[in-house]
Amino acid sequence: MQGAAMDGGSGTSSLRFAVLGPVRAWRGEEQLSTGSPQQRALLAALLLRRGRTATAAELVDALWGEEPPDAALAALRTYASRLRKTFGPDADTTLLSESGGYAVRLAVRALDLAIAEEYAHQAEKARSDGDRRSARELLSAALDLFEGEPLAGLPGPYAEAQRNRLAEWRLQLTESRIDLDLEAGCHAEVVSELTALTAEQPLRERLRAQLMLALYRGGRQAEALAVYADTRRLLAEELGVDPSIELRDLHQGILEADDDLAAPSDCDDGESANAVVRPAQLPATVPDFTGRTAFVGELSEQLATAEGRIMAVSAVAGIGGVGKTTLAVHVAHAARDHFPDGQLYVDLQGAGPRPAEPQAVLGSFLRALGRADAAIPDSLDERSALYRSVLDGRRVLVLLDNARDAAQVRPLLPGTEGCAALITGRARMVDLAGAHLVDLDVMSPEEALQLFTKIVGPERVAAERDAALDVVAACGFLPLAIRIAASRLASRRTWTVSVLATKLADERRRLDELQAGDLAVKATFELGYSQLEPQQARAFRLLGLADGPDISLAAATAVLALDPYEAEEVLESLVDISLLESAAPGRYRFHDLVRLYARACAERDELPPVEREAALSRLLDFYLTTTARVYAMERPGDRLPEHVATASPHGLSFSGRETALEWLFSEARCLLACAHQSTGAGVVRRGVDLLLVAKDLSESGVDPRTFEQAALTLREAARTAGDKPAEARALTALSSLYNMTGQFEEADVLGGEAALLGDSAGDPVASAHARNNHGITANYLKRYEEGEAHLQQSLELFRADDNRTSVASVLSNLSRTHLNTGRVESAVALAEQAVDIYRESGVTMRLANGKYAFGLALTQAGKLDRAHEELSDALVIFRGSRQRLWEGMTYFRLAELSLKAGKPAQAASLAEQSLAVLRTFGGSWRRANALTLLGRALNEIGQIDRARVCWQDAVAVYEELQLPEAAEVHALLQPLAPAA
């Protein structure tokens, strides 16, 4: 609705309204927010009453029909109150409360419908006066006020009835204008329009008659008769009736070449058969367009600089539902001033089964540009050449929406200076020469919440902001999904945002929940999936089965059982059509909702369960084999990899430790996700073994929560399957993790269970590793005698298995036990034995563990220089091995050493470095220890206030954990009590 056309008449209000499309409101040139669909439905109901008062009962019936919600009256009052706030200073004179109802009072020309009716009345008068040119212009002006579907998107029976009435009136106006076109001899120009209209309204006989007459006058008698035959068949099949007498008479007149049907010699208003016209075909932009600032700016800049360039072409690609069309239409409308000679638009149906043929599109464009049918050649090449000729010297924007590929759009590009093409499609058109490519991603969380709020209303969202964030996250920040979810909520006043969030939380039902009316996320994805070749469809389904944030090419190769080159080709083809995303070179990911759709396809298309299970089993084997090889490089001589199944042909090999560790830590989340979903009876043991050989992840402190969830799930699955060795190994992995995170009570219970279960299951892996873990836990809990017994048993088991690396690990732990019980000399000897074993195997992270234990023992023995050397060596190796937890603990030990050496300032610096790491890793107990040590160092260098804060924080942690260290630190605090 143009500002010039929508003047406010003689009234004092500056408000203007539109109902011949989406319901909108303006104050001057500022567009106002009209709220949720229900609120806009109330506004529309009042606007269409033209100032008459509507009772509350009438409005409730208008908005909700026979089943209004319990709080309908309250909702009405809320909507009215919000509208008054929107109207601002004009509210008191515009929205009135009268007789228990409401009325909207406007100036005569403040409503687009009123202006359209005035134009229609003037057109009728002009026609009766014989002024056909003015009548046509007035009818065209009335029709131009329609912007898409009247009352678009409004719920309720009243809106539906009025929508149908206005749509019918629009058709009547169109028919009247076409009658004038035919009277003026412009029959060639209306054929394409009538062809489209009769396709939309196949049973409307007046349109059929006009098309027949236009074709006949254009010398296309056979086609005119074919229209009649098609109409007669359709009426008989659909309604069981014959054509009207008027249509039959027209048919007979065409057969007889009646002179009364002859066309005027030319358009009597001076227009030629090839008149230059300015098409304005852009669809209406959505009133609640949100965000996308960077993309709007980028595309707008391209279009703004089209003048003076050969041709500006921008192609926007993205998955279905990401908002490509919405963005393109919004940008195109904003750029209209740069293209004064018109804007062309076509939906190329590229994602559907029958994409539009360029030849047919060119015919439509040429007609829209004023070329008569008789002047349009038949072949594609000739049409394309004529199209470029017609555009030469003009500045026209062409919006090619929903394109299939570059081949489909090339003939439709203007190719002339000053023109521009804006293309949308799921395929990234890298082969479209000179195109500016834009990859449209999902919305940011802020944009997503903003769009959701615009549709639902700020009050409802503000009251449940966290639930609203859950909703947009469940929608994967996909605009279509957000719009559907928000529209469902807006039309259900009895729902809270939390109710919707709960519905969307169920992944199995999420896609079914995301549909409203003719909008459905699943249907959007279906368009792309239905175009896939069999190999692509199989890959799409199988890859969707794997959990994890993304997947590497190597892992995907295992899932698909293809060679790497073939797998990459299939994956890249899915990226090209936006069903898969390229997360990074060699890595791929699904949008969350696309993954759910892929899994639904796997079930719906009857992918055999055995094939699904085989694909996930191959992925598990790939991760297990590769992770075991990393484990072996970090622990040369450790026999654990020999006790797990590692036979995958897809497993990776590494040339060095750096690349192996890089792979392990980059794949951590995917690896743990694979273990987590390996719960079937045939794979659970391999899933548990994957956690065991991924021990570097748990010891590093990276993502302990995910590791814990995987271990807990696998333990339960193993118990359900009756697989005792798998259950024992899962408990072993958990006890080791809990030692790292400072959860010693939990580690103590699980370590004992794991050892006993491993013994009863006859599994030497669980028996030996669980006892080592149990001994470590007992040391932490100061049960030194018990801990030593567990470690001795573990040592015997590892020696029996000839597992020298694990023997060295136990010797390091025994050294700690000896230190804690005052046997310093033997502690040094045990740690030195461990270092010797590790050194024989090479410089690995295990050597760092040995040097750490050796440095700790040497510190207690007073050999501080040697201790500093060993701990410094350990620190370098831990850093290189990405062991952040042990890096932090080594800083802690170096700080202890420095304090003992009489270097408190150095100790404070090292303790602060330790604390910086341990704030993230290792649990609250270790952080409290670091705070205590830092306080000691600060106290010695005179920073009393900082020392007091450290100790107070440490006491709080110790008391929460109910540890005796709380009393020790309290004693340190006593002398530092601030003066009264």
Q: What tens digit of pLDDT does each residue of 597-632 get?
A: 898 888 877 567 788 888 999 999 999 999 999 998
Bridging pattern class, strands 515-516 and 519-520: antiparallel
Structure tokens at 789: 């017994």
Domain assignment present for residue 211? The answer is: no
Cα(667)–Cα(552) distance, rounded to whole angstroms?
8
Q: How far is CA 248 from CA 41, 182, 187, 935, in A?
A: 43, 19, 20, 103
Domain assignment present for residue 917? The answer is: yes
549 CB contacts (<8 Å, ≥6 apart)? 589, 669, 670, 673
Q: Is the dihedral of CA 364, 369, 373, 378 positive or negative?
A: negative
Number of residues written out for the chain: 980
Query: Roughly how many angstroms between the first and final C-alpha of the chain, as a whole number?
Result: 75
Over residues 665-689, mean pLDDT:
92
Does 183 have pLDDT greater than 90? no
Highest mean pLDDT among 504-518, 688-702, 789-803: 789-803
376, 361 contact by CB (below 8 A) = no
Domain termination residue (choose one: 517, 533, 552): 517
* Centroid of chain to Cα 3: 37
Q: Residue 162 half-sphere exposure, CB side, CA atoms within 13 Å? A: 25
Q: How far is CA 331 from CA 26, 283, 299, 327, 347, in A?
A: 20, 12, 7, 6, 16
Q: What tens digit of pLDDT does each residue of 441-462 get?
A: 889 999 999 999 988 888 888 8
Q: What tens digit of pLDDT does each residue of 706-741 get?
A: 999 999 999 999 999 999 999 999 999 999 999 988
Cα(396)–Cα(338) distance, rounded to whole angstroms?
9
Domain termination residue (choose one: 517, 539, 565): 517
Domain assignment present for residue 839? The answer is: no
Q: Pick from 477, 471, 439, 446: which is nearest to 321 by CA?
A: 477
Cα(66)–Cα(64) distance, rounded to whole angstroms?
7
Does residue 558 sit in the same domain as residue 484? no
The secondary structure of residue 261, as a DSSP letter, is G
Long-range contacts of 828-832 (CB under 8 A, 24+ apart): 828/854, 828/857, 828/858, 828/861, 830/857, 831/856, 831/857
Does residue 579 sit in the same domain as residue 488? no
- Tell me the CATH number at 961: 1.25.40.10
Domain assignment present for residue 22? The answer is: yes
Phi, psi of 99 (to 5 degrees): 50, 45
Does residue 479 sit in the same domain as residue 580? no
Does residue 464 sit in the same domain as residue 603? no
Domain assignment present for residue 667? The answer is: no
261 CB contacts (<8 Å, ≥6 apart)? 213, 216, 217, 250, 253, 254
pLDDT at 648: 73
Task: Name the domain count of the chain.
Answer: 5
Domain assignment present for residue 7? The answer is: yes
3 state DSSP class of 96: strand
Q: Pick from 954, 930, 935, 959: which is nearest to 945 by CA?
A: 935
Cα(605)–Cα(944) distance, rounded to whole angstroms?
71
Domain assignment present for residue 537? The answer is: yes
Does residue 9 sit in the same domain as residue 61? yes
Q: How far is CA 99 from CA 48, 72, 874, in A?
A: 19, 18, 85
Does 52 have pLDDT greater than 60? yes
Return the bridge partners of 422, or none: 314, 399
Q: What tens digit of pLDDT does each residue of 565-591 get?
A: 999 999 998 988 888 888 788 899 988
Q: How many helices (H) and strands (E) does the chain have?
A: 46, 16
Domain termination residue (choose one: 126, 160, 183): 183
* Centroid of chain to Cα 411: 33
Highest mean pLDDT among 252-266, 406-420, 895-909: 895-909
Does residue 26 sit in the same domain as residue 154? yes
Does residue 108 sit in the same domain as residue 16? yes
- Tell me the CATH number at 536: 1.10.10.10
Does residue 416 sit in the same domain as residue 553? no
- Tell me the CATH number at 341: 3.40.50.300
Amino acid at 783: R
Q: What is the largest CA-CA distance in the chain?
A: 124
Structure tokens at 177: 């204008």
Does residue 62 sit in the same domain as residue 145? yes
Does 310 have pLDDT greater than 70? no
pLDDT classification of 1: cutoffs 50, 70, 90: very low
pLDDT classification of 9: cutoffs 50, 70, 90: very low
Q: What tens digit of pLDDT does each residue of 217-247 get?
A: 888 888 888 888 888 888 888 888 888 888 8
Over residues 894-903, mean pLDDT:
94
pLDDT at 977: 63
Q: Pick from 15, 272, 23, 38: which is nearest to 157 by CA?
A: 38
Residues of the domain holding 923: 883-976
Over residues 97-104, mean pLDDT:
84
pLDDT at 569: 92
Cα(643)–Cα(641) distance, rounded to whole angstroms?
5
To which residue do tokens 């000739």 refer? 382
Does residue 488 sit in the same domain as residue 577? no
To which residue do tokens 């799930």 refer? 713
Domain assignment present for residue 5? The answer is: yes
Over residues 693-711, mean pLDDT:
87
Structure tokens at 618: 């191959």
Does residue 396 sit in the same domain as residue 496? no
Q: Residue 555 half-sphere exposure, CB side, CA atoms within 13 Å? A: 32
Q: Residue 210 half-sphere exposure, CB side, CA atoms within 13 Å? A: 32
Amino acid at 792: Q
Does residue 12 sit in the same domain as residue 83? yes
